[in-house]
């Protein structure tokens, strides 16, 4: 990752664009990725609050963090695009829900919390898994159904979990993870370990009854739960205005405070999550609505263009793309040159390609894996094969 400045030479200056050339000619440049002196940035969009006081728009960050954001988001973006090609090559089957466009939510959230705090989400979980410390090999092997996958190939795209990093999945049924998230918060309160749980759901799931049931209980018992609505404005194939009478999801909690955040701005997300964590530990649940967007369709079997125009998608990509924002911020704050950022992207691309190659070599699960992990070890339950006679296995 260290950038060799030994290459500093007239030819290098000639390669760089004018802006960077001007910078490189200055006497002293901060090297990227190691500086931790705080920088303050103001978010472009203010927070809107419901029943609470909005946090300030000024966010503290460091050069290291910003470049780190760029790197991780580029990694996530690259991984999702690679998953797209793998799906079209039929190496990934079934359902594949891609997160590109929404990376800022995953990244900003991670920056504000620790691994002791829990995150639970629905099926758009690849990037959140990466954010929680999952490796690219885990991700691609699981997507291709191989043994090296995070769920041993038995879960698939919608079932990524990482217990040691506090990532609780990975759930296929819309909205069903919200009561689970409240359960995580309940356990945290029970064990008194000063951590919080983030239960992520989408604008489609915001119309599920179980959300309101869970919200009521969380508020009743002051559970340290933060419900994060990743509002990408489309619930599967239906736009939010056609599915919800009140698309102000942060207000839907009624008696529960809420905050509306620009979900394409990683720093705003970070600020909001920090604020939410403090709030949840003191006062109980809070709802965060992340105003974000997904470039792909709902899943790989949805073209994503039947219910929205291509102009809308490219418009968001031009104006609000989270990675571009961080890139512009980094460049304007003179934290790295454009070439360095491009190098990062190339590195990331290579990492992803390597991981895919490695994942492809991982074998398919052994047929005996069909019966493992049905019950916890040691029950000695017998299972019969299809004909009840030939195959008899004791469930391990």
Chain residues in the site for other proteins (CB under 8 A) = 93-95, 142, 145-146, 151, 153-159, 171-176, 204-205, 207-209, 235-238, 242-244, 306-307, 364-365, 367, 369-371, 374, 383-390
User: What does the alpha-carbon distance between residue 184 and residue 196 come to, in Å, rounded to a whole number?
Assistant: 8
Nearer to other proteins, 40 or 301 (CB): 301
Side-chain-side CA neighbours of residue 150 (13 Å): 28
Tell whether the torsion through CA atoms of 239, 243, 246 and 248 is positive or negative: negative
Strands 238-239 and 118-120: unpaired
Q: How many CB atoms lie within 10 A of CB 30?
A: 13
Question: Where on the phi/psi map is residue 69: left (φ > 0), alpha (ψ -120 to 50), or beta?
Answer: alpha
Where are the extended beta strands (E) located within the chain? 38-42, 48-50, 58-62, 118-120, 197-202, 225-231, 234-235, 238-239, 258-262, 286-291, 382-384, 392-394
Identity of the residue, 299 or 337, whose beta carbon is nearer to other proteins in the bound complex: 299
Question: Backbone phi, then psi, for 200, in 5-degree steps?
Answer: -95, 140
CB of 202 to other proteins, least distance (A): 9
| Degrees, nearest 5: CA angle 25-31-33 | 145
Question: Nearer Cβ to other proteins, position 164 or 382?
Answer: 382
Minimum CB distance to other proteins smaller for 205 or for 341: 205
CA torsion 278→330→346→93, rounded to 10°?
40
> Least distance to other proteins from the beta carbon of 351, Å?
24
C-beta atoms surrounding 338 within 10 Å: 15
Least distance to other proteins, CB of residue 395, Å: 9
CB of 40 to other proteins, least distance (A): 40
CB of 122 to other proteins, least distance (A): 11
Cβ proximity to other proteins: between 235 and 263 the closer is 235
The smaller minimum CB distance to other proteins, of residues 175 and 284, is found at 175
245 vs 209: CA distance, rounded Å: 14
Q: How far is the CB of 181 from other proteins (least distance, A)?
A: 17
Q: Cβ of residue 183: shortest distance to other proteins, in angstroms?
A: 18
Nearer to other proteins, 46 or 172 (CB): 172
């Amino acid at each position: 990752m260290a950038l060799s400045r030994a290459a500093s030479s007239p030819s290098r200056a000639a390669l760089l664009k004018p802006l960077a050339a001007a910078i490189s000619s200055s006497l002293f440049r901060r090297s990227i990725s190691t500086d931790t002196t705080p920088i303050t940035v103001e978010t472009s969009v203010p927070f809107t609050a419901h029943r609470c006081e909005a946090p300030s728009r000024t966010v503290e960050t460091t050069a290291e963090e910003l470049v780190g954001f760029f790197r991780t988001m580029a990694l996530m973006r690259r991984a999702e695009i690679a998953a797209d090609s793998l799906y079209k090559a039929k190496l990934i089957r079934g359902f594949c829900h891609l997160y590109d466009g929404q990376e800022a939510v995953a990244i900003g959230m991670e920056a504000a919390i620790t691994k002791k705090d829990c995150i639970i989400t629905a099926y758009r979980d690849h990037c959140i898994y990466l954010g929680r410390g999952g490796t690219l090999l885990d991700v691609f092997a699981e997507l291709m159904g191989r043994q090296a996958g995070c769920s041993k190939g038995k879960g698939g795209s919608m079932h990524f979990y990482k217990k040691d990093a506090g990532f609780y999945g990975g759930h296929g049924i819309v909205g069903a993870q919200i009561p689970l998230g409240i359960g995580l918060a309940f356990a945290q309160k029970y064990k008194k370990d000063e951590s919080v749980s983030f239960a992520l759901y989408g604008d489609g799931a915001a119309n599920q009854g179980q959300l309101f049931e869970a919200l009521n209980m969380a508020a009743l018992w002051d559970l340290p739960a933060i419900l994060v609505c990743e509002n990408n404005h489309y619930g599967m194939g239906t736009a939010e205005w056609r599915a919800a009478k009140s698309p102000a999801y942060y207000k839907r909690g009624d008696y529960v405070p809420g905050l509306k955040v620009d979900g394409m701005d990683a720093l705003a997300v970070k600020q909001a999550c920090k604020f939410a964590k403090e709030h949840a530990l003191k006062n109980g649940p809070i709802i965060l609505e992340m105003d974000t967007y997904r470039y792909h369709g709902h899943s790989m079997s949805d073209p994503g263009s039947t219910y929205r125009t291509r102009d809308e998608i490219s418009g968001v990509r031009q104006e609000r793309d989270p990675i571009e924002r961080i890139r512009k911020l980094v460049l304007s704050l003179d934290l790295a040159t454009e070439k360095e950022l491009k190098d990062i992207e190339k590195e990331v691309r290579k990492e992803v390609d390597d991981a895919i190659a490695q994942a492809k070599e991982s074998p398919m699960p052994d047929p005996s894996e069909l019966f493992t992990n049905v019950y916890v070890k040691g029950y000695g339950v017998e299972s019969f094969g299809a004909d009840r006679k030939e195959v008899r296995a004791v469930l391990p």
